Amino acid sequence: MLKFRESLVSAHHNYLVNQMLTPGFVLGEPDSAEGFFFMGEPLSPPGVEPTVRGRLFDEMGAFLLRLEGQEAIENPGGCVLQKQAGGFRILYASGKPLLSVQTESFANGYLTRIQGKLFDRGGKVRAEPLLDSIQVFGKGTQPSGGLLRVL
């Protein structure tokens, strides 16, 4: 008897998180009005530019930036958002790198790599660079529809 199971990798676009491919991910709690979250939304064809959203804090827990796609919605930390071919990067007001998002095009799809050290509202590290991807920290839950969720 042949068993079928759902693929947890998209044929169109994936993010590289914890050195694994995933069509989307959620770190933290996006429904919280004041708390930390960072997420990469799944991208459906024919889209080529992924949507990355988040509420970012510094190592002391001070609110820096609310990010929606490639736009800073709130920016009390004075961060600088620089758009680049294939993505963008965010710098602290001091010029120190905070986050980099780059999407590569391949013959059969797209891959987004994220680099940066992210902190929650309590100053706890929630993500940091791992080789050519981002490593996320927290309690993970089973992916539903391929969406990696880490609280």
Domain boundaries, given as residue ranges, for the chain: 13-139
Integer Cα distance of 56 and 92 in angstroms: 11
User: Residue 117: is it exposed, middle or buried by C-beta count within 10 angstroms (0-12/13-18/19+)?
Assistant: middle
Single pTM value for the model: 0.87
Answer whether residue 32 shows pLDDT above 90. Answer: no
What b/e string do you get for 12-32 counting C-beta neighbours within 10 Å, with b at 16 or more?
ebbbbbbeebbbbbbbbeeee
* Residue 145 pLDDT: 58
Confidence grade of residue 3 (pLDDT, cut at 50, 70, 90): very low
Average pLDDT over residues 93-120: 95
Confidence grade of residue 140 (pLDDT, cut at 50, 70, 90): low
Residue-wise pLDDT for 33-79, tens only, equals: 889 999 999 988 888 888 999 999 999 999 999 999 889 999 999 99
Q: If DSSP codes are grouped into helix, strand and coil, which group holds residue 113?
A: strand
67: which DSSP letter?
Answer: E
